[in-house]
Structure 1
Amino acid sequence: MLCRSMMAITELTVFAGVLLSVSGLQIASAQQLYSAPIIKAVTIRGNTSIDTVLIEQAVTRTKVNDPFVDHNISDDVKAIYNLGYFADVIATWQLLEDGGLVIIFEVVENPKIEDIVFTGTGELPVQDFISGMQSKQGEILNFNLLLDDLAGFQAWAFEQHGVDLRLVNLNISETGTIMIDAALTKIAQIVLQGNEKTKDHVILRELTFAPGDILDFHEISTSLHRLYMLGYFDDISYDAVRTEELGSAVVTISVQELKTGSADFGVGYNSKSGLFGFIDVFDDNLFGNGQRANVLFEIGRGTRSYRIGFYEPYLLSDGTSFGIEVYNEHDDVENKYEADNELVTGTQHVLGGSVSLGRRLGEFSRLNLSLRADSFKYSGDLNEYEKPF
């Protein structure tokens, strides 16, 4: 703020012939002030901790032996204030007997920083950030450095910890305690796009966040990786947009689905069975529910088999999985036994199945327990030599 005790030269003529300086030290006639006074000296007052030289370096428009120009002094007041160390800056002047002026820049220093306190930051390790701030306890507060620190705080929270926050209030006490109130952005809604086959609940159960949680970009990246590992999607992306309501955002997850099912029909040849045919039908995302099912039927000379399998990745809500497979195989075989020393032919029948339970151990690992049982029977001449089990 600039305190004017002397107005523009053209305005001086309206006075009754005298002008009192703000200090009351000198009385000058209007005739003395009719021409622009010359600045005889520039003085800095009020600083106790900030070096006078630093302040003088900011004074570039007000110069000794130059005529008094009001806007030059205003510019220098702003320049001193912009140093960031002062709560207030004013300019006064004294009129000398010879008609010259002494320009006095008076400053009020900011308090020394006593403490820096962040609130509303959740579990962020704010002391790690405070230790690296330019604003230090025990030093004169500099508004410019503090503003740089606060801008860096938002970047630090995002880049180092993946969270989005806003600074909602800044309060500096007379004793130098800096109170910074922040608000972490929360998820207001999760929107899914592109999942034409996959049901919403199949995607949502893989996410480690939900509406109402803190918007954590690290959590989002982890969840998207879990979605990609399902094998249902060719591409996954997301967008987080703040809503009109302060402190909330909408997270949109977009997916491009892969073809997860197949039905294959064909013929083949091997040395054991010769020509054979098969039907193989499977889907890793059955009806979009995230379940896996497969049916395999194969027939050829001396062989016939089928397999049916089903897998449920979420038997329980905690991610406990369940799988079952049943198979039946019939193969013509020839065995030679020492007792008769001749080939014995027949058919081996295998009826079996397996059951498995799994549990997620970490983000990307599972523990699986499987139990398998087979029943063997024989027909033809083999029945006389092999016992069923």
Structure 2
Amino acid sequence: LYTSKGYYGNEVTYEVSYRKGNKTVVYFDIVEGPKGYIKKIEFVGNKAFSSRKLRGLMRTKRKTFLSWLTKTGTLERDVLEVDLARIREFYRDRGYVTVKVKEPKITLSRDRRSIVITIEIEEGDRYRVGSVDIVGDILGKKEDLLKKLKVKKGKWYRSSLVHKDVLWLTDRYADQGYAYVDVSPLTSLDKEKKLVHLLYKIEEGKLVYINRINIRGNTKTRDKVIRREIKVAEGELYSSTRIRESRRRLVKTGYFKDVDLSVSPTERKELVDLDVKVEEMQTGTLQFGAGYSSVYGAVGTISLSERNLFGRGYKVYARATLGGELIDFSVGATDPRFLDGPFSLGFDAFNVTHEFDTYDYRTTGGDIKVGREITDTIRADFTYLYERIKVFNVDDEASDYIKSQRGTTLTSKVTLTLSRDTVNNPFFPTSGSEVWISGSNAGGPLGGDNYFYKFSGGFSWFHPLIGDLVLNLKGNVGIVRGYSGREVPLREKFYVGGMNTVRGFEYGMAGPVDENQEPIGALNMVTFSTELLYPLSKALGLRLAVFYDVGKGFDHWSDVTPLRHGAGVGIRWYSPLGPIRIDWGYNLDRKPERGEKASAWDFSIGVLY
């Protein structure tokens, strides 16, 4: 026990005292030794990879000045054993299939306060892949299976690719109903030619069908809401891919904290039950609050929202926001699976007033939205919007452009959006992507006063790096033009600068401004963002973000360069009140003559990506 906590040179003695009545008392006398820390980790015999590279694979670390914070520097035997296995697998994944990582030598200093760990390695020769073959129960043509394997003849042998091939073959058979398929990779070494001959032996077993789908844990959500997201049905052949996709779809609904799908055998070997266990989360919120918005200043908000109304999956909201520069009244509702089919149906109604330095801007209207799933990951959404736009309270000092926008106009617009979403979790994404393109048209046969067309597209890609560190790359591009030389409404232009575009700039300040340094929006937009996300507390749903943004809003493509740059840090917190996001960005190429600030704070409550 003491050694596992880093204390060495301990002395433990005991004394047994016998008492009347067949009683025994054992006394332990413990003399604690000093606490020892790892001073050095050294390797002997490694030639292909540096000692620094190998130390980087280990969780066991040397003591540093940050050890009090990182809790490193102590020797834990079980962790060291895992490190040795990781080093061994690292070598094998690079062709050193006969590598030997010997038992480490632990040396204590005389005062038992310093530890030196010496690890001896016999690397052996590096092997390439010889022959690759498949035997046993062949599904389809053997040649087609061999072509899709990642292990290729003549390449350096990699154990990780063999593992991926086993998983792929297993999924290939399991998707055809062979739930109990057994794929065994058998290897033989040609030590003279330094080759690994690989043989995948496949035993497919019996075809398996889904017997019953059992749902547990849903106290609010109706069974049919869960069943409509499950991509297998009772009586169908077993499919591992469709079961995994079913779990992803259930997580994506946002109704559940945890989703677990597992199969259990029945009395008949060809039948299995699919057990769906869910843990529901809070989906309704009533919020009263006051705060500060980076765009609109001090605001007060009252909102009521529900993502799973009546347990049927209906999404509804009503919101009122009042502040010095914003008045927002909005309501809306959406049925994501109208009549339990592939279509969604919803609407929004709004009355929003923005108060800028030299003018006020009010939009009143609503929209109707219809969407349809095309595949499990691709959908199309059609929106019709009708709104009245009023630009008023225009100051005498306002720019000529703002004055030209004064008055009331009507916009009648249709928008078609195509999107593909493979993000694994809507609240804590770690892998997958979302890609979308959108086209809008206003005026003409639709009526209204504003005639324009608009195209935009973007992506957001998540990829796990090391441990819990996640990379998020995002990009957006867009254009908007008025028909026959008409002006584009202020609302429809692109405002680059702020939380969702280039952080470090205030709203719209990375694009065109008028003579009063007021952002007036751009006809073109391009942005790109690189962000690293790391969990500070998984229990609290708290993550740290470090980001770099680049982009610009501009009216002419000849003005696309130079681009504007910002970098900074942020917090992502899935709080009891909903997802909260706070970013601080620094303007890397500030232009004071444009009224730009050196940095900017951004704050929001809503979806995090």
> TM-score of the superposition, structure 1-length normalised?
0.48
Q: TM-score, normalised by structure 2?
A: 0.32
Name the larger-Rg structure: 1
Higher helix share: 1
Larger relative CO (CA 8 A, sep 6+): 1 or 2? Answer: 1
